[in-house]
Amino acid sequence: MSSAIIDNPAAGAAQTDGPAADIDPAAPPPAIADAASAAPPLSLARARRAFAARRRRHKVFGDRADIFGEPAWDMLLDLYIALHEGKHVTVSNACASSGAATTTGLRWVATLAERGLVERIPDPNDGRRFFVQLTADAAALVEASLD
């Protein structure tokens, strides 16, 4: 599957308001900038440990790791970490962080967006690519679940 298809799930994709041309390509989206400038919460360390443990378990169990299947939670943890590190996450990277097949990851990104937990932001430098980030509400929910 081409990265253009992975990074631009245009059918039914939620778009942010305003033209992408108004976005400073060097600046992270506002939610990322705000979270990255704040002191990291204790829950960030917990998120990192939980995500690392889940990846280790996936690696150890190999092709049998699908029995643990929580791709949405893996995505939310990864996006929470990225938010506090001030990093952009592409749709394809979010799918990879889920540990599931790309098509499954794309469905989860769409579901999370429909439920108001993530938002897709067009890449101002590449019209085929989108970034994904947690909404403020989702960040608070992830943090509450880790505290």
Residue 42, judged by CB atoms within 10 A of its CB (0-12, 13-18, 19+), counts as exposed
Residue 130, domain member (yes or no):
yes
CA dist., res. 43 & res. 49, Å (int): 10
Number of domains in the chain: 1
What is the residue range of 106's domain? 43-146
Residue 141, domain member (yes or no):
yes
The pLDDT value recorded for residue 2 is 40
Residue 115, domain member (yes or no):
yes
Q: Is the pLDDT of residue 5 over 60?
A: no
Query: CATH number, domain at 136?
Result: 1.10.10.10
Could you count the other beta carbons within 10 Å of the beta carbon of residue 45? 11
Would you say 31 and 136 are in contact if contact means Cβ atoms under 8 Å apart? yes
The pLDDT value recorded for residue 57 is 80
Residue 109, domain member (yes or no):
yes
Residue 104, domain member (yes or no):
yes
68-99 pLDDT per residue, tens: 778 999 999 999 999 999 999 999 999 998 88
Q: Is the pLDDT of residue 100 over 90?
A: no
Residue 66, domain member (yes or no):
yes
Kindly tell me the number of DSSP H helices and DSSP E strands found in the chain.
7, 2
